[in-house]
Amino acid sequence: MKHLLLLALFIPSLLWAQDDSKYLAGAVPVENGKVVFTQEINASSFSKDEVYNRMLDWANGFFSEDGNRVVYSDRSKGDIAAVGQVYLVFQNTALSLDRSIMNYRVTMECENGKAIMKVAGIRYEYNVSYQREPEKYTAEEWITDKYCLNKDKTKLNRGNGKFRTKTVDFVDEMFASASAAFGIQTVPAAPVAPARTVTPVAPVTAPAATPVAPAPVKEGYVAFAADKVPSTILQMLPESDMQVAPAGKPDTKETSAVWKGTGNMFGKSIASIAIGKDSPVYKEIGDNDTYSLSFFKKGENGDAWLIIDCRKQGETAEGQQMTVIGEIINVWMK
């Protein structure tokens, strides 16, 4: 009887370990230092236009909740991009609600017979009871093998392991939902709660990009390719003061915009900022317009130590703020 009792107590731990195996080494893929989940959907009987139509219809439905929007679509290229926001619920009882907001970006590349989906730009906002401001993490520093597994990669860390499991489940559910649009049935994870309410905006269909003339050399600055900026430099940007100015109007400036980071969309390096809807600078930057992000040492005057020139690709609303996504076209460092 003792042996049976011990076995009964031990079985749940075996089942738990078995369940965890899905989330261990390799469950969170990293490309060039960035977390990128990728899924290729087989649609062998569909033309490129048919794949695009199905994916756009799916995206407009999946990203229809507040805080979720299709922000870019180009039929000729077969490209679609969206931004999303969800609550990852870790525990929900009468006495406790433990959850985190997850923001993310999705790109969809439509071709003859297939669609390639990528989920990247994952960021978390986690409210802690003893802090006034939420803790903020990126996927790269929070759910990768390096930070989320023990030394032997056999167990999830207790603190951030729940973020990893819920993220993997949510991405699996999204890929399953998109596959179902082509008649492909998979077993999705449990649904994830919708995110907080934000003001919606209409999807943005970006016009064809116009060629950009080579930028004149900035005296005293060194030029960097958008995808060659050292990560140590990018890590300094949140600690710097930022100024936004539309191209050709250097006297129209915005200093209260918030830097939200860099990423990749359809092979292009992008930068995201949050800016007020009523900002004169925001109103000056239309689709496909160019603008500059200038970074200064905190609290100091003088020349910017880094300048990023961008071309607007899309936007989405979040309360009274707009998240503007721009393709990086020039980077200058002093």
Question: In Å, what is the CA distance from 252 to each residue of 7, 323, 325?
Answer: 72, 19, 19
Q: Of the ranges 28-32, 61-65, 101-105, 232-236, which one carries the lowest mean pLDDT score? A: 232-236
Q: Measuring CA to CA, which residue among 105, 104, 114, 118 is closest to residue 54?
A: 114
pLDDT of residue 3: 46
pLDDT in tens, 30-52: 998 999 999 999 988 899 999 99
Mean pLDDT of the region 106-134: 90
User: Does the structure show a pLDDT above 80 at 209?
Assistant: no
Most confident of 61-75, 164-178, 202-216, 286-300: 164-178
Residue 232, pLDDT > 80, answer no
pLDDT, average across residues 125-135: 81
Residue that wins the pLDDT comparison between 40 and 333 = 40
How far apart CA 322 and CA 256 sit, in angstroms, is 12
pLDDT mean over 68-78: 91
Residues pairing with 330 in the sheet: 309
pLDDT value at 292 more than 90: yes
Cα–Cα distance for residue pair 65/233, rounded to 1 Å: 35
HSE-up (13 A, CA, CB side) for residue 270: 22
**Cα-Cα end-to-end distance for the chain:** 75
Q: What is the pLDDT of residues 189-200, one digit of tens each?
A: 444 544 443 333
SS3 content of the chain, % helix, strand, coil (to 5): 25, 35, 40
Average pLDDT over residues 68-97: 88
Given a cut of 90, is residue 171 above it in pLDDT? Answer: yes
Does the pLDDT at position 311 exceed 50? yes
The token pair that represents 125 in the structure block: 């906002």
Beta carbons within 10 angstroms of residue 19's beta carbon: 10
For the segment 221-242, the average pLDDT, to the nearest whole number, is 83
Q: Where are the beta strands (DSSP E) in 36-74?
A: 37-42, 69-74
Under the banding of pLDDT at 50, 70 and 90, the label for residue 10 is very low
Q: How far apart are CA 264 and CA 248, in angstroms?
A: 26
Q: For 43-47, 139-143, 202-206, 244-248, which range has the lowest pLDDT when averaged over its residues?
A: 202-206
Mean per-residue pLDDT over the chain, rounded: 82
Checking if the pLDDT of 262 tops 50, the result is yes
Compare 17 and 227 and report the one with higher pLDDT: 227
> Looking at 164-237, which runs of residues are DSSP E strands?
222-224
Paired tokens of 230:
């050292």
The CA distance from 192 to 270, in Å, is: 28
Entry pTM? 0.64
The top-scoring range by mean pLDDT among 53-57, 126-130, 191-195, 286-290 is: 53-57
Q: In whole angstroms, how far apart are CA 46 and each of 41, 49, 51, 113, 176?
A: 11, 8, 6, 5, 18
Residue 323 binned pLDDT confidence (cut-offs 50, 70, 90): confident
Instruction: Label residue 78 by pLDDT band (50, 70, 90).
Output: very high
Quick one: pLDDT at residue 245? 93
Residue 103 pLDDT more than 80? Answer: yes
Percent of the chain with pLDDT over 90: 45
Q: Enter the DSSP assignment of 63.
A: T
Residue whose token pair is 């965890």: 20
C-alpha pair distances (Å), 41 with each of 26, 117, 146: 20, 8, 29
Least confident of 183-187, 247-251, 262-266, 315-319: 183-187
Residue with tokens 């949050």: 274
How far is 126 from 97, CA to CA, in rounded Å?
12
Domains of the chain: 24-180 (3.30.530.80), 222-333 (2.30.110.10)
Q: At 242, is the pLDDT very low, low, confident or very high (cuts 50, 70, 90)?
A: very high
Per-residue pLDDT, averaged over 136-146, amounts to 93
CB neighbours of residue 318 within 10 Å: 19
